[in-house]
Amino acid sequence: MAQPYPDSLGTIRRKGIIMADIAVVLGRLTPPELDGLRSLGPHGHLTRPLIEALDRAAGGPGAGRGYYVPNGNVSATGGPHLVLRSDVAGWLFDSVPQMTQVQGDG
């Protein structure tokens, strides 16, 4: 199985699917959208507006799939409850390292 690899644009390519870097996608969300995600916690069910915001930030309708995943439960209307993928939630809630800062001697 081919391993995912980053390209020069900071995207991850895996089996023909391109996923933008988590930091880039979350960086395209508005402050109220980020606050909405944070208010849900790492396992909260995403609302339709937040799903649409993730899609928009990832490149358009449906492009956010993969940043959110079904959690195995369904709503009263039969639709799946969607949550942030664990590494996306980890990035948002600081449970995974985001980047290393290098300081110069100046």
What residue spans define the domains of the chain?
Answer: 5-92
Note the pLDDT of residue 29: 95
Note the pLDDT of residue 94: 80
pTM exceeds cut of 0.85: no
pLDDT per residue over 13-48, tens digit each?
A: 444 444 558 889 999 999 999 999 999 999 999 999
76, 89, 22, 45 alpha-carbon torsion, rounded to 10°? 10
Strand-pair category, 17-20 with 68-74? unpaired
Residue 91 has pLDDT above 60, yes or no: yes
Burial class (CB in 10 A: 0-12, 13-18, 19+), 12: middle
